[in-house]
Chains A and B, each alone.
Chain A
Amino acid sequence: EAGVAQSPRYKIIEKRQSVAFWCNPISGHATLYWYQQILGQGPKLLIQFQNNGVVDDSQLPKDRFSAERLKGVDSTLKIQPAKLEDSAVYLCASSFLRVESPLHFGNGTRLTVT
């Protein structure tokens, strides 16, 4: 079984620039999550999709972050414009069902904003 694919692995940008991350979940997994993990902290949910619908985006800074999951498969997360405090690892995860099912994480994208 192929795992959750994410790209890029690393990204360095200057503040006020834009950046996009891509995620391809495990085949057949209906639920897709984007988490932000700042060094030394636990993952913080940004957005949760069930198929191509949004289940929870209450912690997504909507003035600068956006996410979409077209056709209920791949997903992209965008930041525009980036701030210094956005420096973190962005983790994509998927699960077969909703939160009762274990999450499978991708390798993450480490973003550095200078």
Chain B
Amino acid sequence: AQSVSQHNHHVILSEAASLELGCNYSYGGTVNLFWYVQYPGQHLQLLLKYFSGDPLVKGIKGFEAEFIKSKFSFNLRKPSVQWSDTAEYFCAVRGATNKLIFGTGTLLAVQP
């Protein structure tokens, strides 16, 4: 069965710090990978996705993620976070079943 794990449940950073959020999935076949963000009081929004091709994917607001097939990972990165990046971040995977499976989420708090 497909599953997604996000190792960091809570992350606290100062502005301008670099960010890396871990995401690992378990599924041996072809997958599509997503990062969604949920800002306080707002709905889930897509940050970026990997479907095929270049494993380094660039998304909105300066975020990027790298798909490493050998490690079953799709970590999210941003070189310099801002206070407005405070949100909950969800990694999600879609495999053979076509179901979108979400990770447990990472709460990011950026201190000004």
Chain A partners chain B: no
A: residues with CB less than 8 A from B are none
